[in-house]
Amino acid sequence: MTKWFGRIGFALLLLVLVAFVALATWEPLWAERDDVVEPQRTYTAEIIRDEFGVPHIYGDTDADVAYGVAIAHSEDDFSTLQDVIAMARGRYGAIAGQDGAAIDYVYHLLDARGTAERHYPDLPEDTRALFDAYAAGLNQFAEENPDELKLGNLFPVEGEDVAAGFALRQPFFFGLNGVIEPLVTGEPLRREYGPDIPGFPRSTDTVDAALPSQEVAMSPLGKDNGMSGSNAFAVTPEKSGGPTILVSNSHQPWRGGVAWYELVVESGEGWHYAGANFPGSPFPFLGHNRDLGWTNTVNSPDMIDVYQLEVDADGNRYRFGEEWRELERKTVTLPVRLGPLVLPIQREVLRSVHGPVIKNDNGYFAFRYGGIDNLGQLDAYYRLNKAETLEEWEGILARMDIPSTNFIYADKTGNIAYVYNAALPDRSEGPNWRTVLDGSDPALVWNGPVEYGELPRYLNPASGWLYNANNAPYTAAGAGSDLSPEKFAPELGVELKQTNRSRRAWKLLSEADRLDRATLEEIKYDTGYAREGYVADLWDELEALDLSDEPRLAEARKLLLDWDFTANNIGRGDSLALLMIREFMSCRYQNKACPSARDELVKSVDHLETHFGRIDPPMGDLLRLRQGDVDLPLDGGSDTLRASTLWDVDEDGRLSVRHGDSFIQWVEWNAGERVTSRSIQPFGSATTRPDSPHYADQSTLFVQHRLKPVHFWREDVLENAKSRKIVTNRR
């Protein structure tokens, strides 16, 4: 009997072991592909790195350069590139667990792969050549560095895989996560930023939706997606007293899949551009070439419409007009890492004629968004890189292939422009587009965007300057030059929104007689708050609190009421104000319910007393730039022009900034001279390589408000070269 039980125990142990091995190894085998077609051509590129490790990539053809971009970026941050490629293949859960699987679900829900498969073959041949070459560079680095691989059979990839990553990520720049997350959880949808539709007034309250009961990480742009921001400035030579100026001041996460990577590219086919891209892109998204440049800021129009479907009792068909149609159903497998194991979790994804469908406790909801099923942005960004004139540049934007983001432009001839770029749905007059729509009404299913001419747009305003700080496009150029919201149909959904950064920028730019370099630098690095909007609401609420029986909180309130509204590391109230403002900025940015001022005051006071023993420590002791051994004081705050937007709270109570001023580029065209530019990053070129000298070598300059030179011209690059090599896939 004992022997019999021993045999059973051994069999069970063996069964458990087999199951363990299967769960630890199935995913790479399941994901293996034998249909990847790698380009049968030779690529050769030269990579020259300057004193800060910024790669300057040269090649005979644009495709050679794109291949070199992949190699250079992999040398600096192959870890993040693998995450991005895993997302583009629906395998991120095998790396990042449950959070990654949520993104994989969205990948299938949006049919990112299907979009790439349908439209990648129709892109121009030279655009596809660029993406194929970039994939070849990633494959080569993966093959030559197997010890760095996170996931088996992630490589090789092809250009279409890279394209699928674009299809997945782009809709989240205009806030798709703000719709998907509440639909998944069954929470109320957040109020849209667009104006009321005539005849359908909404509550005058700033926020309709309650805070979600749980936060769902469903955005490929990271957990801070809803906090995306940026500043941008353009100044004419008449207003500057010298050059045409373009200032790019993006606010992105400092690490991860949407952290900027600086580079300069130049080919024998006329591609010559200095700027920055995100991991997974063969070209820069912003910067400048010889003749012109642009930068982007996130805008938040109403680009998404939600439809409630009338579904039959079996949940298989939905009514559309006079007919009942089958819901498209597809079962997908989401790999979910749990320690050493990867669990195969199956989920069903649904689609209707409207677009993706989500079922929750309240019913079936479909959604449709601007730029849906369009891959044209891959070609548009490439063409923008090589544009030589304002007319050519604007003609590319007019294709409406780039779904969103404002463009601020300047060029060597002295032109400045601002285009409120968005593939706004071509909605009819009459329906209430600011609410959940009737999914059975075919008239509510729009096709394609509005015409380019319907977008808000500025060209060479009389003021001589333009800016955007994630605000409505109706404050952009100063009194007498600003557009009027009455000129734009409410159905367009253009946001009526201001930020503190916008209020400060408009005021400071308007007050300046001349916007020379020094004056514009003061404005860009401004740390002030206007007592308007949510800041005014917060301080009014603080004043109204009854703290007569809470002397500790009363003292803190007095410190705030006496504060100078400047987060510059000088005032006694800077640290307390910094902690207080963040959550109120966050709720207004995302149209969520705000916390109470009392609760935030208690939390902030407790934090400062616990970690600093006082409520008024110097803000530079609290707010830090930390990367490896680098630990430096920072200024600015959430929603100041000098942005220190979001942070992690470290064990010592310090706030380690992770999101804010990121890639800054200052471009100048002086009449009769070649373009020059300067730039800076918070850390360095190799943010995931602790052993690299460029892990955090720009940090001191960054905290000191200083910029480094961009070596745009080849002779300048060679004079400042610290390394130089040829890379090729020639065997």
CA distances from 144 to 74, 137, 140, 148, 259 (A): 11, 11, 6, 10, 25
224 is in an annotated binding site: no
Cα–Cα distance measured from residue 476 to residue 469, given in angstroms and rounded to the nearest whole number: 9
Q: 84: helix, coil or strand?
A: helix
How many other C-beta atoms can be found within 10 angstroms of the C-beta atom of residue 391? 8
Residue 685 falls in the annotated catalytic set: no
Q: Which residue in the block uniquely carries the two structure tokens 């109706």?
A: 474
Cα–Cα distance measured from residue 132 to residue 115, given in angstroms and rounded to the nearest whole number: 17
Q: What single-letter amino acid sits at 260?
A: W
305 is in an annotated binding site: yes
3-state secondary structure string across 541-577: HHHHCCCCCCHHHHHHHHHHHCCCCECCCCCCCHHHH
Contact 410, 435 (CB under 8 A): no
Cα–Cα distance measured from residue 640 to residue 575, given in angstroms and rounded to the nearest whole number: 14
Cα–Cα distance measured from residue 283 to residue 87, given in angstroms and rounded to the nearest whole number: 19
Helix (H) / strand (E) element for 626: namely strand 623-627
Contact 576, 542 (CB under 8 A): no
Cα–Cα distance measured from residue 189 to residue 192, given in angstroms and rounded to the nearest whole number: 9
Cα–Cα distance measured from residue 535 to residue 580, given in angstroms and rounded to the nearest whole number: 10
**Which of 74, 228, 230, 404 is labelled catalytic?**
230
Cα–Cα distance measured from residue 30 to residue 17, given in angstroms and rounded to the nearest whole number: 20
Contact 261, 72 (CB under 8 A): no
245's tokens = 């100026």
Cα–Cα distance measured from residue 558 to residue 573, given in angstroms and rounded to the nearest whole number: 9
Contact partners, residue 332, CB within 8 Å, separation at least 6: 90, 104, 105, 108, 346, 347, 348, 349
Cα–Cα distance measured from residue 175 to residue 463, given in angstroms and rounded to the nearest whole number: 32
Q: Which of 286, 267, 261, 275 is nearest to 75 (CA)?
A: 261
648 is in an annotated binding site: no
Cα–Cα distance measured from residue 717 to residue 453, given in angstroms and rounded to the nearest whole number: 41
Kindly calculate the radius of gyration of the chain based on its CA atoms and give it in whole angstroms. Answer: 26
Contact 512, 523 (CB under 8 A): yes
Q: 435: helix, coil or strand?
A: coil
Q: 121: helix, coil or strand?
A: helix
Contact 172, 217 (CB under 8 A): no
Kindly state the DSSP code that residue 356 receives in the 8-state scheme: E
Q: 655: helix, coil or strand?
A: strand
Quote the strand ranges of 415-567, DSSP E: 416-419, 437-438, 457-459, 465-468
User: Which residues are tagged catalytic?
Assistant: 230
Annotated binding-site residue numbers: 302, 305, 482
Annotated binding-site residue numbers for Ca(2+): 302, 305, 482
